[in-house]
């Protein structure tokens, strides 16, 4: 197995530094800590995540085309800790870790009574919208959204939505008005020229 070693500096502002954490994987993966990606492995290999404070540290392991895994690892007061992703399971050099597979994100739309729209996701997936619509098959990541008239000639709203596994974002729609996001408000970004 080919091992690539990458060093990623991780700066944590809280707590005293205790141990160095490494990530060993048998597949492509991204490590997320406190909502931000801190390391990306393009394939099998070992990454150095950096120094963490002693105690529990929450990590999310994102895998291409698979649901992310969320786990809490315990960083020792001294020494090193290796977190391993092997055969879609997470373990550490100090023992087994319980990981939770996160559900896919949900992107939903809600209209005013009697109003109908067409919703176009990523420029290709079109959905009819009258009342409520929930999309549960989108992957985590950024998606473009266009809200059009049912004949597709008038564009009411354009923007992007950033979806995270386990989150639900609802866009409230009304003719002639900007979309209003419920759930994770910062997930919705109107296109340039549109106001929030």
Asked if residue 83 and residue 28 are part of one domain, the reply reads yes
pLDDT digits (tens, 9 = 90+) for 114-123: 999 999 999 9
* Inter-residue contact 55 to 94 (CB < 8 Å): no
Q: Are residues 69 and 130 in the same domain?
A: no
The verdict on 120 and 66 lying in the same domain is no
Domain-ending residue, one of 101, 126, 141: 101
Q: Which CATH number is 66's domain given?
A: 2.60.40
Q: Chain-wide mean pLDDT for the chain?
A: 84
Average pLDDT over residues 127-131: 92
Rounded Cα–Cα distance for residues 17 and 58 (Å)? 16
Q: What are the distances in angstroms from CA 111 to CA 124, 131, 172?
A: 21, 5, 6
Q: Compute the distance between CA of residue 150 and CA of residue 176 in angstroms, rounded to an integer.
A: 14
Evaluate if residue 7 carries a pLDDT over 60.
Answer: no
Structural domains of the chain, count:
2
Which of 48, 68, 101 marks a domain boundary? Answer: 101
In this predicted model, what pLDDT tens digit does every residue of 34-77 receive, in sequence order? 878 899 999 999 999 999 999 899 999 988 878 888 999 999 88
> Do residue 21 and residue 89 come from a single domain?
yes
Whether 2 has a pLDDT exceeding 50, the answer reads no
Domain match, 110 and 71 both: no
The first and second tokens of residue 84, run together, are: 């391993």
Task: For residues 41 and 94, state if they share a domain.
Answer: yes
Whether residues 71 and 119 share a domain: the answer is no
Do 121 and 59 share a structural domain? no
What is the C-alpha to C-alpha distance for residues 112 and 30, in angstroms, rounded to an integer?
39
The per-residue pLDDT for 13 is 41
Q: Lowest-pLDDT range, 80-84, 108-112, 157-161, 175-179?
A: 175-179
Are 124 and 90 in a shared domain? no
How many CB atoms sit inside 10 A of residue 68's CB? 21
- Domain membership of residue 53 (yes or no) is yes
The least confident of 10-14, 86-90, 137-141 is 10-14
Structural domain range at position 93: 5-101
From 101, 126, 144, the end of a domain falls on 101
Indicate whether 32 belongs to any domain: yes
Shared domain for 97 and 110, answered yes or no, is no
Q: Quick check: is 196 in a domain?
A: no
Q: Is residue 195 part of a domain?
A: no
111 and 162 fall within a common domain: yes
11 & 89 share domain = yes
Q: Kindly state whether residue 54 falls inside one of the protein's structural domains.
A: yes
């Amino acid at each position: 197995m080919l091992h690539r070693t990458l060093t990623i500096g991780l700066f944590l502002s809280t707590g005293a530094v205790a141990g160095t954490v490494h990530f060993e994987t048998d597949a492509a993966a991204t490590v997320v800590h406190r909502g931000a990606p801190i390391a990306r492995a393009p394939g099998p290999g070992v990454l150095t995540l950096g120094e963490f404070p002693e105690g529990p540290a929450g990590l999310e392991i994102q895998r291409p085309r698979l649901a992310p895994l969320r786990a809490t690892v315990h960083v020792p007061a001294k020494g090193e800790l290796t977190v391993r992703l092997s055969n879609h399971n997470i373990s550490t050099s100090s023992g087994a870790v319980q990981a939770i597979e996160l559900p896919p994100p949900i992107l939903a739309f809600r209209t005013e009574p009697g109003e109908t729209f067409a919703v176009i996701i990523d420029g290709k997936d079109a959905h009819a919208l009258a009342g409520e619509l929930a999309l549960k098959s989108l992957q985590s990541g950024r998606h473009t959204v266009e809200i059009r008239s049912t004949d597709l000639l008038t564009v009411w709203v354009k923007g992007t939505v950033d979806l995270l596994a386990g989150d639900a974002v609802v866009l409230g729609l009304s003719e002639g008005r900007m979309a209003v996001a419920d759930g994770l408000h910062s997930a919705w970004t109107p296109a340039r020229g549109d106001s929030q």
